[in-house]
Amino acid sequence: KAQEEEQRRKAQEEEQKRKALEEEQKRKAQEEEQRRKAQEEEQKRKALEQEQRRKALEEEQRRKAQEEEQRRKEEEERVKIAEQGKKENVKDKEKERKRHRFGKEKEEFLDSSQLQLSYSSDFLFNTSWKKSDFQQKERLGKGGFGVVRHVIEKRTQLHAAWKEVNYETPEEIQIVNKEIEIMQKIYEIVLKSNSSFIHIVQPLGLIIDKEDHKAYIVLEYCSKG
């Protein structure tokens, strides 16, 4: 019995040692698992921080690139505005120069051809008309030097025809001036001849449009052509 009791005691001690060893192994395995999980968590945290830093860096680079692009566009816009201003300034100067030349040519023409002079009691060439004084009707014809249109003088209801021609360059102004001068001289000659039939149309006046650089020679209207 004593031997059996001793054997049971030893078996119990052996079982306790085995269980203690298993418990120790489980504890170590749990600690190892916890360390592994802690390492994985730390790696994830570091990876997340690194990803956040990378995104922040990319965002900063995009912001700087956008700011640089914005500055570049603003600079281009300033240059464009400056160039546009220069071009407009040049255009304004050119336009003013043309207006000055246009007005000078007109004054010289009025002085030289004496358009305000009445050749007779029946022949007065009007240069005070404006384009707005007339109501435009149908087009009567078109040639190499201009368009002829039927018009009505609003105040007097006078039917007339005007010939629209370019009046900008010195050559164009000279052509118009010469044409009017010839028409006036011919009509004056025919008028003074006391002929019972006047076979040419009477030049009635001249309208000059400074803005469009056009001249309108107002002529007697022949309803039957």
In angstroms, how far apart are the furthest CA atoms of the chain?
179
Both tokens of 27, joined, read: 């504890």
Least confident span in 15-29, 105-119, 156-170, 202-216? 105-119
Between 98 and 53, residue with greater pLDDT: 53
Whether 117 shows a pLDDT value over 50: the answer reads no
Pick the more confident residue, 13 or 123.
Answer: 13
CATH classification at residue 191: 3.30.200.20
Taking CA atoms, 13 is separated from 6, 17, 116, 208, in Å, by 10, 6, 145, 132
Structure-block tokens of residue 71 = 């500055």
Residue 125 pLDDT grade (very low, low, confident, very high; cuts 50, 70, 90): confident
Q: Are residues 76 and 138 in the same domain?
A: no
Q: How many Å from the N-terminal Cα to the C-terminal Cα in the chain?
A: 159
Q: Domain count of the chain?
A: 2
Domain region containing 21: 1-105
Question: Using one digit for the tens of pLDDT, what is the confidence trace for 193-206?
Answer: 776 666 778 899 99
Is residue 87 within 8 Å of 95, Cβ to Cβ?
A: no
Whether 140 and 41 share a structural domain: no
pLDDT at 146 (0 to 100): 80
Statement: residue 120 has pLDDT above 50: no
Burial of residue 183 (number of CB atoms within 10 Å: 0-12, 13-18, 19+): middle
Kindly state whether residues 101 and 136 are assigned to the same domain.
Answer: no
**pTM for this model (two decimals):** 0.47
**Per-residue pLDDT tens over the stretch 82-112:** 888 887 777 777 767 655 555 555 555 444 4
Q: What is the pLDDT of residue 192?
A: 77
Q: Are residues 84 and 153 in the same domain?
A: no
Q: Tell me the pLDDT band of 168, cut-offs 50, 70 and 90.
A: confident
Q: What mean pLDDT is reported for the chain? A: 83
At residue 51, does pLDDT exceed 90? yes
Report residue 32's pLDDT band, with 50, 70 and 90 as the boundaries.
Answer: very high
Instruction: Grade residue 115 by pLDDT with cuts at 50, 70 and 90.
Output: very low
Q: How far is CA 174 from CA 71, 211, 212, in A?
A: 54, 19, 17
Cα(152)–Cα(138) distance, rounded to whole angstroms? 11
Residue 118 placed within a domain: no
What's the average model confidence in pLDDT over 193-221? Answer: 84
In this structure, the answer to whether residues 9 and 101 fall within a common structural domain is yes
Place of tokens 């019995």: 1
110 within domain boundaries: no
pLDDT at 121 over 50: no
φ and ψ of 208, to 5 deg:
-115, 125
